[in-house]
Amino acid sequence: MDAAEMKKIVAEKAVDTFVKDGMNVGLGTGSTAYFAIKRIGQLVADGFDLTCVATSVQSENLARESGIKVVDLDEVDKLDVTIDGADEVDPKMQLVKGLGGALLREKIVAAATVREVIIVDESKLVERLGTKAPLPVEVLRFGHEHTRYALERQGCTPELRMKDGSPFVTDGGNYIYDCRFPEGIANPFFLESRIDVIPGVVENGLFLNTAFDVLVSRQDGTVSRMSGEQV
Ligand code: 5RP
């Protein structure tokens, strides 16, 4: 099974398991969430009445093209379920997100969600966060070099994310530093508390105690839930 097939089966399994007619649904961002949005579009075409909130301009455009009704987050009081990808998942279902650049809206949407369902293929599983992926940190453009020094003091090497020769700019108009930790992240909760007090930091890519469940697809075509529930 190739990487795209693994993303598709886990995304479709998550939608078919968690999305029910009449729900408010959060739409994730990235190449795995792409397949979930396409599947949600099929449900809408089949007559489901869903109200959706997107975590990025990219996902909003895809959703509208797929015939999905998209509203602002403030138009709903809560989301019943959000289906989103992740860059790393540890055995306690703690996550690193944001390589797709949408971590700020993803975290706001997750906070408004009853069931945050994460969809990954097995390549995203790690014993310790920060060992495969860098930790993305979204920062204000103003004084961002100073913010970088403060991030560096947390024991990482922060690299300004670039796109087409210029700094990558998020949907919120900010920059991202991808922070590499040589030994991975020993204590994600402590690190988050240190990063969040740095002036200039808008949001970090640690999603701690956020996942209601994580669905994982494997090379052999199976999908399992980290909560231990049946799929
Ligand atoms: C975007 C994200 C994505 O969910 C994450 O990067 C995973 O993306 P993909 O499914 O393409 O690997 O956090 O900000």
For the chain, the domains span 3-126+208-219, 135-203
Q: What is the CATH number of domain 135-203?
A: 3.30.70.260
Measure the CA angle with vertex 56, ends 191 and 210; round to 5°: 40
Going by alpha carbons, the residue nearest to atom 10 of ligand 1 is 32
- Ligand 1 test: best mutation among 12, 35, 87, most atoms within 8 Å of CB? 87
Tokens 């007619």 belong to residue: 21
Predicted pLDDT at 231: 81
Q: Which residues pair with 9 in a beta bridge?
A: none
What amino acid positions are annotated as catalytic residues? 106
Q: What is the pLDDT of residue 159?
A: 98
Q: Report how far ligand 1's centroid is from the alpha carbon of 22 (Å).
A: 26
CB 129 within 8 A of CB 96: yes
Query: Ligand 1: distance of its center to the CA of 95 in Å?
Result: 11
Q: How do residues 126-157 score in pLDDT, each as one tens digit?
A: 999 999 999 999 999 999 999 999 999 999 99
| Per-residue pLDDT reduced to its tens digit, 76-85 | 999 999 999 9
pLDDT of res. 229: 84
The topology under which CATH files domain 3-126+208-219 is Rossmann fold (3.40.50)
Q: Ligand 1: residues whose CB is within 6 Å? A: 28-33, 84-87, 97-103, 106
* pLDDT computed for residue 84 by the predictor: 98
Give every residue of the chain whose pLDDT is below 70, as ranges.
none
Angle 94-119-1 (CA atoms, 0-180°, nearest 5)?
125
* Environment class of 117 (CB within 10 Å of its CB; exposed 0-12, middle 13-18, buried 19+): buried
Atom of ligand 1 nearest to the CA of 97: 13
User: What pLDDT score was predicted for residue 100?
Assistant: 97
**Which residue's alpha carbon is at the smallest distance from atom 5 of ligand 1?**
86
Cα distance between residue 70 and residue 208, in whole Å: 27
